[in-house]
Chain A
Amino acid sequence: MGEHQTGWQKTLYEKTGQDVYFWNFVFLMVFTAIEVGAVYLSLTYGATVFALVSVGIVKFFGIAAFFMHLWDDERELTYTFACPFIFVVILFIGIAFTSPGGVAGLPAWCSPEFIGSYSPTAP
């Protein structure tokens, strides 16, 4: 189980006496505190969403890379874990962002009329 054989994990263990999982645990705790704090600063909508999303991604990376030791395992496992996210993105584009209100706000160049107007007259 990745007994600190890679370089920086070994030095981390010697220097601090705690292995990479302990520090990963602390890392995640700190970021959860940041997340909850960010909400209480009552920033603007955009800033809060940005903070929440970025902390979320960082914690996602923390858990997936170290607790689920994708960092140490073969690269094929990371591909396996990444593969469904392509279909989650397709699902998001097709279902999440195209709610009745969502699509109406699209810019003109992306709507069919604009694309349609390029073509010669109807048959």
Chain B
Amino acid sequence: MGPADYTIFWSLMKTWNFWSLVVGIFTFALLFYLIIRFRQISPKDETPEKLTPGVFPKERDNLTLELTWFIVPTILVLYLTFIAWQSMITVWVDPYSEDEDTFDITIEAYQWGWNFYYHDEILIVNETGNLSTFATPTGTEVIDGAVSIDGNLYLPCNRLIKAKLVTLNDGGELPVLHAPFIPEWGIKEDAVPGIETYMSFTPKETGTYDLFCAEYCGQQHSKMLAKVHVVGACG
């Protein structure tokens, strides 16, 4: 489980794990060293400041030390911000630029289910072996304007998928927040009633993936599940 290793998530996670370990080990080592070395040996230990009630104790500070532990974390944070900025461009900014040939679908969320609409036509050739595992009742072609057949999503492999997220509002339904979330690809975006939001990803491996709802939407929030089948050749 968890995001596939070709996603941007893992490239960032490695960096973040590394730096977290560095900061964590440094801090805890320093903490345990200080606890052991400066514990009270006998009650008559002398410490530089006598703390007497009602008297503001002698201030102690060391400008160079304080500047270092202000500057060093700032440099680390700026470096990490720089990387975070990159990930923002690939996750949120690039996909919305219209020029690429994206495979457009619309994910429509309603109270406790999903509808998938296709806006591009692809023909998936049947003999690539792994197709037999999926029950695609209307055979293998995904027709422009087709609606999800059995409540599941069929996507081509190795194409930039651009999903428009809307909430069903045909008067009867209660428009609330939902968010399609596919853990294996590490992507999610809220479907907000009234505005259209976008989510995009390029699946690189065929297979069946789970789709959860990640924004609390009422009683059966945990039942809003769907399967995403990535079919076709991953050339």
Contacts and interface: CB of A to CB of B under 8 A. Distances in A.
A116 B82 contact: no
A105 interface: no
25 contacts: A100-B195, A112-B88, A112-B89, A112-B92, A112-B93, A113-B89, A113-B93, A113-B97, A115-B85, A116-B85, A116-B86, A116-B88, A116-B89, A116-B93, A119-B82, A119-B85, A119-B86, A119-B89, A122-B86, A122-B87, A122-B89, A122-B90, A123-B11, A123-B83, A123-B86
Interface string A79-118: 0000000000000000000001000000000001101100
Contacts of A112: 88-89, 92-93
The majority secondary structure among interface residues of chain A is helix
Interface residues of A, number: 8
Interface of B: 11, 82-83, 85-90, 92-93, 97, 195
Contacts of A113: 89, 93, 97
A24 to B, nearest CB: 46
Contacts of B89: 112-113, 116, 119, 122
A81 B216 CA distance: 40
B98 to A, nearest CB: 13
A33 to B, nearest CB: 41
A108 to B, nearest CB: 13
A123 B15 CA distance: 11
Given A113-B93, A119-B82, 14 more contacts: A100-B195, A112-B89, A113-B89, A116-B85, A116-B86, A116-B89, A116-B93, A119-B86, A119-B89, A122-B86, A122-B87, A122-B90, A123-B11, A123-B83
A16 B195 CA distance: 61
Contacts of A100: 195
Contacts of A122: 86-87, 89-90
Contacts of B85: 115-116, 119
Contacts of B93: 112-113, 116
Nearest to B89: A116
